[in-house]
Homo-oligomer: A and B are copies of this chain.
């Protein structure tokens, strides 16, 4: 294995359910070269890892950087991760990924020290080190995309909990009489405020006969509707779309109020695909916190959008690798 060097670039991977991002990232957190490929998880673990390694090769080729000048490989992956063993233990977004020793697979193939972390935890670290949370000791990152996840930074460090699964903020019950979630719980925040929830609510209302621009944007097909379609319609003034987004944002606000009352954090960072909605999402969330949370923590918390956007996971994996790299 090549001897890693501090301050040299790293290879970074963000393995998601639909997309794999691979990149060469400078020690300072600048993306020098990037290549994204579709995950195609249904092809199986070996096929996915093979294409991932090929993408890494192309990134290094494009950047003309020799392996010997790299520090390490940093991986963020969607799923439950055993950090110490470097294993993806399970993943709702990567069917078939059960107890996959991804860290060792990549380390052996690439020949560089490799680190593996959950993607939401990584994103929290990324925002803390390189993004909206620089200099903030005490923050919660909430990712709102297909699902809702989170990462917790306390006292300047990632808080993992006793078995590494802390931060599942999408699976707190906010509606005790709500529908059952895939996770086994009831009335979870994710069921009510995620991208999937927005799309499903739009499909339900349209199937019931509601009139809306959403269907034009979805080219007449219910199954084409995503949270982005709904947000676009809302921005164009569509009443139904606005009501759906506003409902989801209010539920998200309720979840954020819970976090404010429990953690009294300095900052809450909203990331994930739905964060691109900007004020459409942030204004109702801030309103919920101002109206519902305890006054002291409500006044003290900043609720801000992600700065790193879809690179939060990549850059957070880098921050994680830097914090653990043996060469430091």
Contact = CB atoms under 8 A, between A and B. Distances in A.
Interface of A: 80, 89, 137-138, 150, 152, 154-155, 159-169, 171-178, 183-187, 192, 251, 254, 257-259, 261-266, 291-294, 296-297, 300-301
B163 A293 contact: no
12 contacts: A89-B296, A138-B161, A162-B264, A162-B300, A165-B296, A165-B297, A166-B297, A173-B254, A184-B291, A184-B292, A184-B294, A262-B262
A159 B263 CA distance: 8
A296 B80 contact: yes
Contacts of A187: 176
A185 B178 CA distance: 18
Given A161-B297, A294-B183, A176 B254 contact: yes
Contact of A262 (B169, B254, B264): B169
The winner among A172, A177, A254, A300 for most chain B CB atoms within 10 A is: A172
A93 to B, nearest CB: 15
Given A161-B297, A167-B264, A172-B258, 17 more contacts: A152-B262, A154-B154, A162-B266, A162-B300, A163-B296, A165-B264, A166-B263, A171-B294, A172-B172, A174-B176, A175-B175, A175-B176, A176-B178, A176-B192, A176-B254, A183-B294, A184-B292
Q: In the complex, which of the residues A171, A173, A186, A265 has the most CB atoms of chain B within 10 Å of its own CB atom?
A: A173
B262 A173 contact: no
A155 B161 CA distance: 9
A185 B261 contact: yes
Nearest to A291: B184
A159 B152 CA distance: 13
Nearest to A290: B184
Contacts of A137: 162
Given A162-B138, A264-B165, A294-B183, A173 B258 contact: yes
A296 B168 CA distance: 12
Contacts of A169: 261-262
B161 A292 contact: no
A185 B253 CA distance: 11
A287 to B, nearest CB: 13
Contacts of A300: 162-163
A251 to B, nearest CB: 7
Contact of A159 (B154, B177, B183, B257): B154
Contacts of A184: 291-294
B257 A185 contact: yes
A173 B171 contact: no
A74 to B, nearest CB: 23
A165 B300 CA distance: 11
A299 to B, nearest CB: 8
A203 to B, nearest CB: 21
Contacts of A262: 150, 152, 166-169, 172, 259, 262
